[in-house]
Amino acid sequence: MKKDYSKNSLAVFLSYFGPHWKLFAVDMLCAALLSVIDLIFPIVSRRSMQVLLPAKMFAAFFAVIAVLLLAYVLKGFLYYVITVLGHGMGVLVEADMRKDVFTHIESLSFSYFDKNRTGALMSRVTNDLFDITELSHHGPENVLICTLTILGSLIVMFFIRWELALVITIILPLMVFFTIRQRRSMQQASAEVRKKTAEINAAIESGISGVRTAKAFANEEEEGKKFDEVNSIFKTAKRSFYRAMGRFQSGMEFMTGALQVVVIGVGGILIMREKMDYIDLVTFTLYVSSFLSPLRRLISFMEQYTQGAAGFERFMEIMRTEPEIKDAEDASVLTDVKGEIRYSNVSFRYQDGTEVLKNIDLYVHPGESLALVGPSGGGKTTICHLLPRFYDVTSGSITVDGKDVRSVTQDSLRRAIGIIQQDVFMFAGTVRENIRYGRPDASDEEVILAATRAEIHDEIMQMPNGYDTYIGERGVMLSGGQKQRLSIARVFLKNPPILILDEATSALDSVTEQRIQASLDELSRGRTTIIIAHRLSTVKNATRIAVVEGTKIVEEGTHAELMSKNGEYARLRLAQQLDN
């Protein structure tokens, strides 16, 4: 069931306990029984000293002692149950949250990832949620135990000697006020620590991802300096948190110690006035100990709470971030795609106001190939990104088979489009797994056929484990040409009616480019294809060519038409020393 993250944080937090209510109920029942055992001990001890011992009822006294021992055996067992089941429930809550936040991050638009670093997002999915596990287990349990024990102790103490209980009741609000005030200070410091931890993770992720570049430039020392800067900021933030924690713990230790001194002092005065006996004072001090035990539990729990609460707020920050690109409420499923594409007066600018495209008009017939050429930064890639709705147009419209891309579901639209880019991303896994990413339900025979059509099957069979060969992080164990052909095999497997080739061969040497170009030609056959290319030799046979420069299309036509104009396209080919 989808959760409403617009609610307050506590309501959302508690909603994660719903699917695990049985474990939660057992945990809370055990916690309640623990409180009852702690409350019974002093009153039973008082009864024994006032009645059983003076009456020399020794058998009954030792029977009571035996029952108390059994009660503490039960208490030990209850703590075992709370530890095992409670933490188990916490892990389940954490897993549910991690699934939700990962799914939500996957749903966010490209613009979100333009502004947020991978390492910082990883910190939110890992470190922050780890602390929430402890909070989800110990939070409700500690609140219940402490509430029952404190209220129960106060009630019994009022029955024993109301004057002394009243003194404690007056001091208690001061302790609560101090706790709340310090908690806010600690939570702010903890949130800052979380932020700095995310920055450290981002720096680590960047450093590890770019380790080959760092080594190539012999810049390991420079990377170390960058990390030291972030790490130094983290140490400062952590120091502030520990200062807040120190103020809280020292203040609580003073007040709990002072409370015991006050109890002895006031109790002594009441004994002097013969309003209280020594047994009642001993019983009272036992209840004060029972009273202070949950307070100390709260002290140790406070650091855990502040860290977990800060982590949960960062979790909520992500969950309350809405994707900028959403399906329309009446969005239809795009089916039986022929591949007719039309850009009508399309303009696009980023949120900071930077204009990338202005009044673009393009039309591609089904099965045609359109090449986009021109200098870097002209908007070629943006034109392609607007088609699958990685971004939305600022004005104008884009249609596929006459349907505005904003009127169909993103899933059906993107299933109809295959994209091959210059920078191919390979997942850490096997060759088979990376090809099958094009269609997860494909059979082994279909995977092999796709690899054969991409002209990489023979090379795969020469690898140590064939299709089960592990290719390393980001495909580091493959050559550039092999990665590119695996990406082509993925698209063969996906079999989309529309194809986008975003500088698919520009990073390859000429020999490898020629081999892959044959695969691309085979892949493009019968599909509507948009090609972005810097090497103009690869677009000569395109149905039409559009020259994109300065946010606009400055020329459009066939290769022959554009060459006869002797305009921008002809100058680009001349710059690349291409004669015709």
Lowest-confidence range among 4-8, 29-33, 221-225, 375-379? 221-225
Residue 127 near residue 226, CB atoms below 8 Å: no
Q: Which residues contact 358 (CB under 8 A, 6 or more apart)?
A: 347, 551, 552
In one letter, which amino acid is 226? K
* CATH topology identical between 9-319 and 341-575: no
pLDDT for res 512: 64
pLDDT in tens, 317-330: 888 888 888 888 88
| pLDDT tens column, 49-60 | 777 777 788 888
DSSP, collapsed to helix, strand or coil, labels residue 361 as: strand
> What mean pLDDT comes out for the span 270-288?
78
Inform me whether the pLDDT recorded for 283 exceeds 70.
yes
Mean pLDDT over 216-230 rounds to: 70
Range with the poorest average pLDDT among 306-315, 481-490, 511-520: 511-520
What residues have CB less than 8 Å from 3, skipping those under 6 apart? 12, 15, 100
Residue whose C-alpha is closest to residue 455's, from 433, 486, 432: 486
In three-state secondary structure terms, 207 is: helix
Question: To the nearest whole number, what is the mean pLDDT of the chain?
Answer: 81
Question: Tens digit of pLDDT for each residue in 164-184?
Answer: 778 888 887 777 777 767 777
Instruction: Output the pLDDT for position 511.
Output: 66
The span from the first CA to the last CA of the chain, in angstroms, equals: 62
Q: Three-state SS for 401?
A: coil
What pLDDT score was predicted for residue 219? 66
* Contact assessment for residue 87 and residue 95, using Cβ atoms and an 8 Å cutoff: no
Higher local confidence (pLDDT), 453 or 129: 453
Residues 96-107: pLDDT tens digits? 888 888 888 888
How far is residue 326 from each of residues 4, 144, 381, 409, 503, measured CA to CA in Å?
17, 42, 21, 9, 28
* Cβ atoms of residues 333 and 408 within 8 Å: yes
Task: Give the residue from 117, 112, 135, 253 showing the smallest Cα distance to 190.
Answer: 135
- Higher-pLDDT residue of 3 and 552 is 552
- Contact yes or no for 357/383 (Cβ under 8 A): yes
Q: Which of 305, 266, 303 is nearest to 285 (CA)?
A: 266
What pLDDT is attached to residue 343? Answer: 93
Residue 198 burial (C-beta neighbours within 10 Å; 0-12, 13-18, 19+): buried
pLDDT of residue 205: 66
Whole-angstrom Cα distance, residue 380 to residue 550? 10
Q: What is the mean pLDDT of residues 139-146?
A: 79
Q: 341-575, what's its fold?
A: Rossmann fold (3.40.50)
Q: Is 382 exposed, middle or buried (0-12, 13-18, 19+ CB in 10 A)?
A: buried
CA nearest 517: which of 540, 544, 497?
540
Six-digit token pair at 502? Answer: 């975003």
Q: Specify whether the backbone of 347 is left (phi greater than 0), alpha (psi in -120 to 50) or beta.
A: beta
Q: Tens digits of per-residue pLDDT, 347-376? A: 998 877 788 899 999 999 999 989 898 887
Q: What pLDDT sits at residue 508?
A: 59
Cα–Cα distance, 324 to 397 (Å, whole number): 17
**Separation of alpha carbons 442 and 457, rounded Å:** 16
* Band of pLDDT at residue 332, cut at 50, 70 and 90: very high
Burial class (CB in 10 A: 0-12, 13-18, 19+), 373: buried
pLDDT > 90: percent of the chain: 10
Q: How far apart are CA 318 and CA 301, in angstroms?
A: 26
Mean pLDDT of 16-41: 86
pLDDT in tens, 472-511: 777 778 887 788 888 888 888 888 899 888 876 665 566 6
Mean pLDDT to the nearest integer, 120-131: 74
Q: How confident is the model at residue 258 (pLDDT cuts 50, 70, 90)?
A: confident
CA 197 to chain CA centroid, nearest Å:
14
CATH class of 9-319: mainly alpha
Whether the Cβ atoms of residue 549 and residue 375 lie closer than 8 Å to each other: yes
Decide if pLDDT at 293 tops 90: no
Q: Is the pLDDT of residue 84 over 70?
A: yes
Q: How confident is the model at residue 344 (pLDDT cuts 50, 70, 90)?
A: very high
Per-residue pLDDT band for 403 (boundaries 50, 70, 90) equals very high
Amino acid 551 reads: T
**Cβ neighbours of residue 450 closer than 8 Å, sequence gap 6 or more:** 435, 438, 442, 489, 490, 492, 493
pLDDT of 395 reads 92
Q: Cα 383 to the chain's mean position, in Å?
A: 30
Confidence of residue 229 (pLDDT cuts 50, 70, 90): confident
Query: Using 50, 70 and 90 to split pLDDT, how confident is the model at 85?
Result: confident
Q: For residues 362 and 196, which has the higher predicted lDDT (pLDDT)?
A: 362
Q: Which has the higher per-residue pLDDT, 496 or 296?
A: 496
pLDDT in tens, 412-443: 998 898 888 877 778 878 889 888 888 888 89
pLDDT at 525 over 90: no
pLDDT score, position 340: 92
- Contact between residue 119 and residue 230 where contact means Cβ atoms under 8 Å apart: no
Look up the pTM and report it: 0.67
Three-state secondary-structure class, residue 124: helix
pLDDT at residue 218, rounded to an integer? 63
Residue 518 or residue 20, greater confidence: 20
Give the H or E element holding residue 358.
strand 355-364
pLDDT at 217: 56
* Residue 578 banded pLDDT, cuts 50, 70, 90: low
515 sits in which H/E element: helix 510-524
The domain limits of the chain are 9-319, 341-575
Q: Mean pLDDT across the stretch 187-216?
A: 68
Q: Alpha carbon of 457 to those of 435, 442, 452: distances in Å?
A: 11, 16, 5
Give the pLDDT band (50/70/90) at residue 211. low
Task: Kindly list the strands in the beta sheet with 403-404, ordered across the sheet, starting from the edge strand earlier in the chain.
Answer: 355-364, 341-349, 395-400, 403-404
pLDDT at 390 > cutoff 90? no
In this prediction, residue 1 has a pLDDT band, given cuts at 50, 70 and 90, of: low
C-beta of residue 255 within 8 angstroms of C-beta of residue 299:
no
- Listed as own residue / partner, the contacts of 78-87 with beta carbons closer than 8 Å and 24 or more positions apart are 78/30, 78/33, 78/34, 78/37, 79/34, 81/26, 81/27, 81/30, 82/27, 82/30, 82/31, 82/34, 82/141, 85/23, 85/26, 85/27, 85/30, 86/23, 86/27, 86/137, 86/138, 86/141, 87/133, 87/137
* In the predicted structure, residue 521 carries a pLDDT above the cut 70: yes
With contact defined as beta carbons under 8 Å apart, do 342 and 362 qualify? Answer: yes
Lowest mean per-residue pLDDT among 69-73, 78-82, 375-379 = 375-379
3-state secondary structure of 523: helix
Q: Give the Cα separation of 394 and 385 in Å (integer).
A: 13
Q: What value does the CA radius of gyration of the chain take, rounded to a whole number of Å?
A: 35
DSSP state of 500: E
